[in-house]
């Protein structure tokens, strides 16, 4: 099946595209700049910050995967200053949902984060302090608004809440956890696998998962 992948040039997005190709699907790699395309996927250029062109970008897709999130000046430091608007995920997701409605696409899987909304109660005290008292807070507020937009939509959706992402590790499906501590980790390939499995699956209900760990 054809799957539109937003954020296809990022750490999780690239892995979604790779796994989709390996599984025999046809990913549509949607990025903001042509040089960020991920061949041999279908490359399409579009900015989800605006609604213009989104319907054309997802044309032919049967499901959508979004790996969009706030960017920081130093990608290796989650507490570095923001390099994108503080409402990036919420605005982009709202625009994507509108385009999906126009195109008749009903299934979407997005990356959220452990510690968003009610899952914050499962965080240890140090993690809660980092979320609430540092410049991590805008990203979590943004993802909570994104989840609210998904919940208010008529789509079949998943907001995956991984713990701290790492580049190493396998694509083995992540397991649920009820505790998010400083050393809780989730491989990006595992996140990509979970997103892809949902996008190509048969689940019908609106849902958001519990936190996941590798």
So what's the pLDDT on residue 35?
60
Residues in the chain predicted with pLDDT less than 70, given as ranges, are 34-39, 202-214
Cα 55 to Cα 20: distance, rounded to the nearest angstrom: 21
So what's the pLDDT on residue 182?
84
- As a whole number of Å, the CA-based R_g of the chain is 16
Q: Which two tokens stand for residue 88?
A: 């990036």
So what's the pLDDT on residue 176?
81
Cα 169 to Cα 38: distance, rounded to the nearest angstrom: 21
Beta strands in 163-202 (DSSP E): 164-166, 175-176, 185-187
Nearest to 86 by CA among 8, 143, 47, 48: 143
pLDDT tens digits, residue range 41-56? 899 989 999 888 899 9
So what's the pLDDT on residue 83?
81
| Predicted TM-score of the model (pTM) | 0.92
Peptide bond just before 136 cis, omega within 30 deg: no
So what's the pLDDT on residue 168?
87
So what's the pLDDT on residue 209?
57
Non-local CB neighbours of 142 within 8 Å, separated by 6+ positions = 69, 70, 86, 87, 88, 89, 90
So what's the pLDDT on residue 60?
96
């Amino acid at each position: 099946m054809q799957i539109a992948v937003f954020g296809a040039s990022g750490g999780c997005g690239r892995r979604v595209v790779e796994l989709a190709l390996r599984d025999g699907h046809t990913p549509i790699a949607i990025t903001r700049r042509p040089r960020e395309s991920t061949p041999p996927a279908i490359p399409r250029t579009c900015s989800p910050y605006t609604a213009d062109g989104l319907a054309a970008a997802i044309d032919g897709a049967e499901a959508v995967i979004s790996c969009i999130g706030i960017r920081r000046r130093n990608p290796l430091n989650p507490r570095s200053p923001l390099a994108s608007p503080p409402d990036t995920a919420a605005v982009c997701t709202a625009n994507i949902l509108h385009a999906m409605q126009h195109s008749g696409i009903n299934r979407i899987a997005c990356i959220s984060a452990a510690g968003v909304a009610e899952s914050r109660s499962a965080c240890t005290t140090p993690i809660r302090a980092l979320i609430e008292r540092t410049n991590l807070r805008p990203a979590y507020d943004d993802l909570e608004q994104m989840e609210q937009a998904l919940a208010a939509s008529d789509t079949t959706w998943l907001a995956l809440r991984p713990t701290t992402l790492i580049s190493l590790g396998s694509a083995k499906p992540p397991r649920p956890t009820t505790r998010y501590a400083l050393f809780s980790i989730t491989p990006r390939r595992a996140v990509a696998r979970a997103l892809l499995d949902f996008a190509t699956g048969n689940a019908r209900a609106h849902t958001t998962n519990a936190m996941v760990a590798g």
